[in-house]
């Protein structure tokens, strides 16, 4: 019988992080976003980073904008490459396990009804950016909560590549987040505009979205 990558994980590798999850829930309730430096469990951050080193450039495809059939690649809006996480690697499984724990916790605390999760690795090469955008438009998408985890050791102030959140439409300067290893940003997908400033170094992250169930009589929403 073939072993799933998940069966190979030591028990202690994806801890629950109850304090962190509690802080995220409180921040989301209060202000719609939560920024947490050094938040990823070290085993998880290292596992994802090591997995990245084993991936080849061919596994990353230029990211598109828009939904499904309407997707287009637009180098004026975003310039990054992505690779979806499907749970085939041990590190990918570990990430999905940990985000599932976050999902269960937030559903219990905030009654968000989060139902499924999708995520990808992203690579912004030097000069890469993503212009100011929302991850979802109200009523048009079922993306509710965005999560970004950064995988860049020794990030320096002049490396650029910051995430800037604009939680209030009239807060022009925004909230700036350096994409340093272990930092976790969580924000409401339909409410918080954000952008990625041009990076001067290769910049790696995992971005993910929790969705609510949008099944209809005609189409079942896959629970992944
Ligand atoms: C995205 C995004 C932010 C980041 O992928 O939609 O906004 O900091 N990413 O990588
Ligand atoms: Mn985004």
pLDDT of residue 74: 76
Whether the pLDDT of residue 43 is over 50: the answer is: yes
5-9+31-211 CATH, one of 3.40.50.300, 1.10.10.10, 2.60.120.620, 1.10.1060.10: 2.60.120.620
Distance (Å) from CA 107 to ligand 2 centroid:
22
Report whether residue 196 contacts ligand 1, using a CB cutoff of 6 Å. Answer: yes
| Closest-lying ligand 1 atom to the alpha carbon of residue 194 | 7
pLDDT of residue 2: 47
| Closest-lying ligand 1 atom to the alpha carbon of residue 185 | 8
Report whether residue 135 contacts ligand 1, using a CB cutoff of 6 Å. Answer: yes
Greater model confidence, 87 or 206: 206
Tell me if the pTM is above 0.75.
yes
Report whether residue 165 contacts ligand 1, using a CB cutoff of 6 Å. Answer: no
Among 64, 192, 207, the mutation site with the greatest number of ligand 1 atoms within 8 A of its Cβ is 207
Domain ranges of the chain: 5-9+31-211
Instruction: Report whether 63 contacts 73 (CB < 8 A).
Output: yes
170 confidence band (pLDDT: 50, 70, 90):
confident
23 confidence band (pLDDT: 50, 70, 90):
very high
Report whether residue 39 contacts ligand 1, using a CB cutoff of 6 Å. Answer: no
User: What does pLDDT average to over the chain?
Assistant: 87
Whether the pLDDT of residue 7 is over 50: the answer is: no
| Residue whose CA is at the smallest distance from ligand 1 atom 1 | 207
Percent of the chain beyond pLDDT 70? Answer: 87
Whether the pLDDT of residue 1 is over 50: the answer is: no
Highest mean pLDDT among 13-22, 32-41, 131-140: 32-41
Average pLDDT over residues 122-144: 90
Whether the pLDDT of residue 196 is over 70: the answer is: yes
Instruction: Report whether 114 contacts 213 (CB < 8 A).
Output: no
**What is the token pair recorded at 109?**
């605390």
Distance (Å) from CA 189 to ligand 1 centroid:
11
**What is the token pair recorded at 128?**
């890469």
Instruction: Report whether 43 contacts 16 (CB < 8 A).
Output: no
Greater model confidence, 161 or 64: 161
Average pLDDT over residues 162-188: 93
Report whether residue 136 contacts ligand 1, using a CB cutoff of 6 Å. Answer: no
Give CA torsion, residues 25, 29, 34, 36, to 10 deg: -40
């Amino acid at each position: 019988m073939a072993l799933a990558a998940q069966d190979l994980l030591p028990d202690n590798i994806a801890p629950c992080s109850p304090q962190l999850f509690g802080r995220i829930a409180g921040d989301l309730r209060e202000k719609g976003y939560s920024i947490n430096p050094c938040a990823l469990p070290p085993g998880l951050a290292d596992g994802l980073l090591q997995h990245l080193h084993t991936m080849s450039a061919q596994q990353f495809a230029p990211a598109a904008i828009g939904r499904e059939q309407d997707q287009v690649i637009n180098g004026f809006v975003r310039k990054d490459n992505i690779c979806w996480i499907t749970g085939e690697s041990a590190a990918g499984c570990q990430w999905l396990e940990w985000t599932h724990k976050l999902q269960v916790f937030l559903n219990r605390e905030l009654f968000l009804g989060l139902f499924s999760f999708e995520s990808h690795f992203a690579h912004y090469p030097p000069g890469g950016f993503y212009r100011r955008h929302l991850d979802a438009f109200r009523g048009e998408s079922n993306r509710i909560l965005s999560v970004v985890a950064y995988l860049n050791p020794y990030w320096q102030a002049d490396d650029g590549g910051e995430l800037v959140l604009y939680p209030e439409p009239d807060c022009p300067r925004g909230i700036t987040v350096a994409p340093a290893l272990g930092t976790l940003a969580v924000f409401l997908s339909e409410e918080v505009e954000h952008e990625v400033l041009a990076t001067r170094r290769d910049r790696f992250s995992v971005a993910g979205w929790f969705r609510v169930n949008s099944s209809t009589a005609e189409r079942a929403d896959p629970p992944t």
